[in-house]
Structure 1
């Protein structure tokens, strides 16, 4: 079977294990069904997720021009504390920014390689945790806008990491943690204006990923350097495909790449 399309991050469904889908314009692939099968990936070209043109991808699926002009990739996306829509101040497109920023957000703890703090829209729970390869996670606060979530993350990352060690995550080199204990210990360090949004008495969410074999020594696949790759799929975790020869492919980091996929 052969497919061709523009890569975007894999869509997911909660299950035992997590279910993964690659979605193209006119077709989709249920990636779990490809486990233990040989896959051929061929790099064809680019298609910017904003303008749709065959222009070299700069970051996050966008060409250089659109990365610095699109409202979807403003600085507030990666740094929520820079959000200004609650002040009626525009960054690139106030209408879009109000829709994105002025909605419930969650500040959470997730354990994928270590305990980390993060921010996501409430509507993206647990998708955000799945994308990070977290096997357990818990909400700390639910706030009404992205700015409050951002200043909370800034305050808490003085006490806990805000980074994931992707290598340890893929090797499954993780230790179970009592996230409820971690959450309660951080409560006193919440900003004053966020204290009222602390979530009491919630439980950890546990996630199980479809991995038959974890890699030992990682080899990261870059389609620009290696435009043709074949390998037996052994697992899916976070937004990575894991192959039998220890090659790992970050689908999300390859958004905007046009590929031809063959199931051999």
Structure 2
């Protein structure tokens, strides 16, 4: 079977095991059903996810012009502490920025390689954790806007990592740190403005299991722009990565905006 599509990040559903779906044409692929099957990926070109033009992708599925003009990729996306909509100050598009920034956000701890702190909109729990390949996650605070979440993350990352080692995550080399214990230790470092939002009665850990038959011992990252065609047997899916039998890994999200042909053999 063969499918043509412009790559977008895989959609997910948290069940006993994460279910993965990939948009293709006017349909979707249930990727869990493709485990142990041979898949060919063929690079055909680019299509910006913002303007829809066939222009080279710069970052995050956007062409150069859209990346530096679209409100959807302002600096506050990666650095929530730069959010200004709560002060009625525009970055690129105030209406859009208010719609995203002025809603409940969660600051959390996740265990994907080591313990890390992160920020996400409440509506993106647990999607954000799955996209990072976290095996466990726990919420710390729920704040009413992105700015408060950002300054909380900045304060906490002085005491805990804010990055995942993606290689260790894909190899399933996960630390055994206690998230509840880590949360309690970090409570004292919350900014004053965030302290009233500490989730004192929510110490629940979310555990996440991924559809992986075989974890790679070494990692070889697939660059479709250079190789153009790749074929391999799918052995697992974790985070936004496809894991293949020959230790090749493919980050779907990092290749958003690429037009590809997917052949299931």
TM-score calculated relative to the size of structure 2:
0.99
Report the counterpart of residue 250 of structure 2 in structure 1: 249
Residue deviations 1:117-161 (CA, integer Å, cap 9, x gap)? 000000000000000000000000000000000000000000000
Query: Is 18-27 or 157-166 further displaced after alignment?
Result: 18-27
Residue deviations 1:94-135 (CA, integer Å, cap 9, x gap)? 000000000000000000000000000000000000000000
Report the counterpart of residue 222 of structure 2 in structure 1: 221
Report the counterpart of residue 162 of structure 2 in structure 1: 162
Residue 240 (structure 2) pairs with residue 239 (structure 1): yes
Report the counterpart of residue 66 of structure 1 in structure 2: 66
| Unpaired stretches in structure 1, ≥5 consecutive residues | none
| Unpaired stretches in structure 2, ≥5 consecutive residues | none
Deviation for aligned residue 1:178? 1.2
What secondary structure is seen at the aligned counterpart in 1 of 2:180? helix
Deviation for aligned residue 1:177? 2.2
Report the counterpart of residue 193 of structure 1 in structure 2: 193
Query: Is 3-12 or 200-209 further displaced after alignment?
Result: 200-209
Residue deviations 1:201-242 (CA, integer Å, cap 9, x gap)? 321100000000000110000110111000000000000000
Root-mean-square deviation (Å): 0.6
Q: 1:2 to 1:165 in 2, by over 3 A?
A: same
Report the counterpart of residue 52 of structure 1 in structure 2: 52
Residue 98 (structure 2) pairs with residue 103 (structure 1): no
Deviation for aligned residue 1:176? 2.6
What secondary structure is seen at the aligned counterpart in 2 of 1:193? coil
| Aligned counterparts of 2:24 and 2:77: Cα–Cα separation in 1 | 25
Residue deviations 1:162-197 (CA, integer Å, cap 9, x gap)? 000000000000123211110011011000010000
Report the counterpart of residue 15 of structure 2 in structure 1: 15
Report the counterpart of residue 125 of structure 1 in structure 2: 125
Runs of 4+ displaced beyond 3 Å: none
Number of residue pairs aligned between Structure 1 and Structure 2:
264
Deviation for aligned residue 1:67? 0.1
What secondary structure is seen at the aligned counterpart in 2 of 1:182? helix
Deviation for aligned residue 1:243? 0.1
| Aligned counterparts of 2:206 and 2:192: Cα–Cα separation in 1 | 27
